[in-house]
Amino acid sequence: MKELNSQKNQNKLRNKFLKVGVKMMGPETIFFSNDTKIGKNVIIEPYVVIGKKVKIGNNVIIKSFSHLESCKIESKVEIGPYARIRPNTTLKEGSKIGNFVEVKKSTVGKKSKVNHLSYIGDSDIGKSVNIGAGTITCNYDGVKKSKTKIKDNVFIGSNSSLVAPVTIDKQSVVGAGSVITKNVKKKSLALTRSLQTEIRNYKKK
């Protein structure tokens, strides 16, 4: 009976959002909460779950297999597919969260992009920041959580680890594959990388 009531409630919520113009592909696969708030011109693809305390602005696209809970999504944001937006996250106008990205207790600034395979936790990201594939914020040392601050117009190269607490100042670049443990100054290039070794005409013994 409980399951039947839940199904009825979901159908009621889906119809409510369809009536106000939310575009849903496969509405029967999309799940809302009673307190979900959605703006105008929003597109939601199949297999999306929206948990409690989610507020979505105008002109937002949420792609398939994404999960959102206790977060604020401003206008013109694109999420997913396969994105997880966890509690206390704010995605500012024009930002983009791509596939296999998890964001927790963080702010992602205007027009900033975290396109693929990244974990952003306890972070404050400024405007027009590009986070390369495979980048993670190392926010937990086993005892406490620490904060990562990435200021405006920063470029983080792919497969980088940012060990909190750390601040990357404006217009800086972090080279791909770096482990950053110290603050990076404005307009700097920071990289930590071992020298590449090559043994010519190598044969296995």
116 is catalytic: yes
Question: How many CA atoms does the CB half-sphere of 156 hold within 13 Å?
Answer: 36
Of 77, 72, 96, 48, which Cα lies nearest the Cα of 17?
A: 48
Question: How many CA atoms does the CB half-sphere of 62 hold within 13 Å?
Answer: 35
From CA 71, how far away is CA 39, in angstroms rounded? 14
Are 116 and 144 a contacting pair, CB within 8 Å?
Answer: no
Q: Pick the catalytic residue from 84, 116, 127, 151.
A: 116
Of 170, 138, 135, which Cα lies nearest the Cα of 156?
A: 135
Question: CA–CA distance from 41 to each of 23, 58, 99 (Å)?
Answer: 7, 6, 22
Are 132 and 114 a contacting pair, CB within 8 Å?
Answer: no
Residues taking part in catalysis: 116
